[in-house]
Structure 1
Amino acid sequence: MISNPQTTLALINGKVVLPDRVAEGMAVIIERSSASGSIAAVVDENRLPVEIKRIDVDGRWITPGLIDIHTHGALGHTFNEPSAEAFNIILQENARRGVTGLLATVAAAPLDDLLQTFEFIRQWMSAPRPGSQVFGAHLESPYISPQQCGALDPQSLRSPSDGSAAQLLEFADVLRIFVLAPELPGASELVARLKEHNILPAAGHSMAKEEHVLAAVQSGLRHVTHLFSAMSTTVREGPWRKPGLLETALVHPGLTVEMIADNKHLP
């Protein structure tokens, strides 16, 4: 099972998070190389080979490396800062917290600033780096509703129909998730272009009604960012109550949703 005992260790006495349960009395065997490590096996602690080094985690949780698809930064720095200092601090802190890979989440900003940031992310991803690995970028774009901008800069907001998205799509190799408000003019067309570039279109920071969401779904919308936060809900039109983005996201089988359980984004 293990070819080189000197490159292995076993985590014992922990709560091991498995796909279907949390197990105790199990050991997680790690194979290490000079650059990284990976989980080789999960076995009963009593079956560990004698020669393997053991690390007692004293009842702590043991999980695979976590993947964070929506994180803006850490320790006073954000991914809107295209500098090695900021990225190193953020990524080392994420690794310390158990996050082994992430999407560098970039907030709406002036277009030139966004282009500079994505160029930096592209260069960062081109070589091995310490800390959490950057798998791409998640953009909370300028194409959102002013009424639902939340913590995003209202001075940076734009219309999907103004042509500026073409410059952002030049970074299709970097962009993984692209958040926009489906009700804005040109939004459905932009969703279709995102889909063509293999970028996941996501709805968020939006005042959309169900009709806007369904039109965007027809164009390729597949995801909704931070459910409940900065999005429309049921409105009354005459004697009828019409669903907003929240209700449509909860019931539509073609939409996945993101939930941020930080005591701020959920009611």
Structure 2
Amino acid sequence: MLTQIINGKIYTPQGWLDEGSVLMRDNKILEVTNCDLALIGAKLIDAKGMYIVPGFVCMHAHGGGGRDFTECTEAAFRTAIKAHQKHGATSIFPTLSSSPFSDIRKAVDICEQLMAEKDSPVLGLHVEGPYLNAKMAGEQFAGKVKGVDKEEYTSLLESANCIKRWDASPELPGALDFARYLKSKGILAAVSHTEAEYDGIKEAFEAGFTHAAHFYNAMPGFHKRREYKYEGTVESVYLMDGMTIELIADGIHLPSTILRLAYKLKGVDNTCLVTDALAYAAADGVEIKDPNVIIEDGVCKMADRSSLAGSIATMDVLVRTMVKAGIPLGDAVRMVSETPARIMGVEESKGSLQKDKDADILILDRDLNIRAAWAMGNLVEGTNTLF
């Protein structure tokens, strides 16, 4: 069926188009045009002056809707994915936090099954750990980290096809060879939970660690040891031209000043926004059974309030947070669509409203809430409040 969306403010790679329309048929965008005349035979969607933007690419989320991907069940995967779809994530790379390799293999099997389904929003698996610096891993990964094991990861990756990103601490013995191996397989290697300083980050980048996970979080900044001062991981990443970053832009993990600083120094092309969401994201009414955590102030905290336990953000929250921080809406949209699509290697079909790309399209109201969403041309259940 030919569908035409009119009467909206359309975000294109060239900027905002105030008068025009988006045409889609089946799962593809046929045209983004400056003509808003209704086409005979097309199903007409009136955007009522709202924003028409590309679907969001979720490249770092551990769960949602009350379920976690580490459960390694099909039901958990489907529930969490559906929860994030309702908030604009038309494409998703489920994130598996530090887990035994037996569980990683289970997650691989489930992910490959979902990826094989028609018009699937699942584009690959993201693995964070278990090769992480225990000192920097925090409560979330306590007791779940280990040293780099070449035989272990090569055995897995020689048989798995769905892993598209893997995060590790570059200072661990064997981590640089791990990054080189990932690079040879076309897998994104990201530094995570690290205390590496400039020389270590430089070596890591040259080896293939080209991305920094949850930038600023679980990594030190400028610091002092005795009478001397040293650059931290944060400053080192800033100095590495071409190294991309991701920000947990929930308004809690990073203040607006730091969001603006990262945007200013790294730029839209090297910055993407992630939820890093736990199971409690988009989980209204779900009982928290873990006595060690509480939900408060829009974030998950340790029960004693000693630290943050994780994010409960969704992708639409990230956009609203950045705009509130003073970032232009168009740039915020790019950081949840175009930039992550390019970083994850799916830019040929995802990330922008262009002819022949997948029909992943959102309509946002003036408060930047999702009013309608199409994933591969299919209306996402629970988002059709526009009509």
TM-score band w.r.t. shorter chain: 0.7 to 0.9
1:201-220 alignment runs, 5 A limit: 201-220=189-208
C-alpha distance in 2, partners of 1:239/1:204? Answer: 28
In structure 2, the partner of 1:173 is 161
Q: Secondary structure, in 3 states, of the residue corresponding to 1:179?
A: strand
Q: Is 1:92 paired with 2:82?
A: yes
Task: Tell me what 1:10 maps to.
Answer: 4
User: In 2, are the aligned partners of 1:226 and 1:265 still within 8 Å (CA)?
Assistant: no
2:128 to 140, 150, 156: 140
Q: How many Å apart are 1:54 and its aligned residue?
A: 1.4
Taking structure 1 as reference, are residues 51 and 178 closer, same or farther at Cα in structure 2, changes over 3 Å only? same
1:24 is matched by which residue type in structure 2? D
Structure 2 residue matching 1:191: 3-state secondary structure? helix
Please state if 1:57 is matched with 2:51: no
TM-score, normalised relative to structure 1:
0.85
Aligned match of 2:117 in 128, 138, 144? 128
1: CA distance, partners of 2:118 / 2:85: 12
Q: Distance in 2 between matches of 1:40 and 1:246?
A: 42
Q: Secondary structure at the match of 1:264?
A: coil
Deviation at 1:45, TM superposition (A): 4.7
Moved over 6 A (4+): none
Letter in 2 for 1:27: S
1:3 matched to which residue of 2?
Answer: none
Structure 2: distance between partners of 1:78 and 1:106: 9
- 1:100-119 mapped onto 2 (5 Å cutoff): 100-119=90-109
In the alignment, what sits opposite 2:347? none
Contact 1:161 1:187 in 2 (8 A): no
Task: Give the corresponding residue for 1:83.
Answer: 73
Shift of 1:138: 0.9
CA 1:52 to 1:198, structure 2 compared with 1: closer, same or farther past 3 Å?
closer
Confirm whether residue 233 of structure 1 aligns to residue 221 of structure 2.
Answer: yes
Is 1:249 paired with 2:251? no
SS of 1:192's partner is helix
Letter in 2 for 1:96: K
List per-residue Cα deviations over 1:135-166 (Å, max 9, x = no partner). 11111111112232246321111011575333
CA-based RMSD: 2.3
Deviation string, structure 1 residues 86-130 (Cα, Å, up to 9, x no partner): 2222233333333222211111122322222222222332x2156
Tell whether the 8 Å contact from 1:161 to 1:185 is kept in structure 2 after alignment: no
Deviation at 1:170, TM superposition (A): 3.6
**Distance in 2 between the 1:223 and 1:172 partners?**
22
CA distance in 1, matches of 2:10, 2:216: 31
Q: Does 1:197 align with 2:191?
A: no
Measured in 2, the distance between the counterparts of 1:162 and 1:42 equals: 48
Q: Which amino acid aligns with 1:11?
A: I
Identity within the alignment, %: 29
Distance in 2 separating the partners of 1:258 and 1:195: 19
Contact preservation (8 Å) 1:183, 1:209: no
Gap change, CA 1:50 and 1:167, over 3 Å in 2: same
Corresponding residue pairs, total:
255
Q: What amino acid sits opposite 1:57 in the alignment?
A: A
Structure possessing the higher relative contact order (Cα contacts under 8 Å, 6 or more residues apart): 2
Q: 2:61 aligns with which of 68, 71, 76?
A: 71
Unaligned runs of 5+ in 1: 1-6
**1:221 corresponds to 2:209:** yes
Q: TM-score, normalised by structure 2?
A: 0.60
Query: Which deviates further from its counterpart, 95-104 or 139-148?
Result: 95-104
Provide Cα deviations, 1:211-233, integer angstroms capped at 9, x if missing partner: 21122223222111111111121
- SS of equivalent to 1:258: strand
